[in-house]
Amino acid sequence: MPVIKIPETIVVPKQVMRDVLDRLAAEAPEDGDAGVLNGCKMHLFKSDLELSADTDKATLDAAKANFTDYAVSDEVVWGGALTDDDGHHSLTGSGKQFTAGDGATSNLIYGGYLVDSADAELICSFKFDAPVEVNEAGDGLIVIPIFPLSAS
């Protein structure tokens, strides 16, 4: 009897993709677990890291931003799943503002990463198109997290 593998590219209906994204951000039902994105928080990192699926939280934490008054964000609040005109599916989270305080330690911010609500588990990491300088009090950035999910 032949064993036939599903090909790497599969076709998934748009509504199913939106449902998958909505479940990732879902609150916990009384009898189950919350979606992995529910309650997540954001960190920034200050090294020009080469990110891959093997990049772990310890590596990112070692490069964590340290400008004056830097702290992990509060919880990201996710909107509903969207499909754009090109068929790309995503969730957009609430923007997170990071601002340096007085006596700022200079940082060059290369990207960020999302962690669970306990700041214990890495969810994903991302690198900006260009680093952002945080050199003095009042410098900062606002990051809007977008969690994509693709299928044909």
Q: pLDDT tens, 81-90?
A: 888 888 788 8
Q: Mean pLDDT of all residues in the chain? A: 86
Structure tokens at 19: 């449902």
Residue with the larger pLDDT of the pair 18 and 150? 18
Asked whether residue 68 is assigned to any structural domain, the reply reads yes
pLDDT computed for residue 142 by the predictor: 94
Task: Please provide the DSSP assignment of 22-84 as one string.
Answer: HHHTPPPPTTSPPPTTTT-EEEEE-S-----TT--HHHHHHTB--STT--------B---EE-
Distance CA 29, CA 69 (A): 36
pLDDT computed for residue 19 by the predictor: 84
Asked whether residue 6 is assigned to any structural domain, the reply reads no
Residue with the larger pLDDT of the pair 106 and 23? 106
Taking residues 19-29, what's their average pLDDT? 79
When divided into structural domains, the chain yields a total of 1
Q: Is the pLDDT of residue 146 over 50?
A: yes
pLDDT bracket for residue 12 (50, 70, 90): low
Asked whether residue 55 is assigned to any structural domain, the reply reads yes
Domain of 135, in residue numbers? 14-26+35-149
Asked whether residue 96 is assigned to any structural domain, the reply reads yes
Distance CA 54, CA 61 (A): 14
pLDDT bracket for residue 49 (50, 70, 90): very high
Q: Is the pLDDT of residue 109 over 90?
A: yes
Q: Is the pLDDT of residue 149 over 50?
A: yes
- Report the run of H or E that residue 109 belongs to, with start and end: strand 107-115
Distance CA 6, CA 3 (A): 10
Asked whether residue 109 is assigned to any structural domain, the reply reads yes
Asked whether residue 124 is assigned to any structural domain, the reply reads yes
Structure tokens at 121: 């588990």
Asked whether residue 74 is assigned to any structural domain, the reply reads yes
Asked whether residue 22 is assigned to any structural domain, the reply reads yes
Q: Is the pLDDT of residue 152 over 50?
A: no
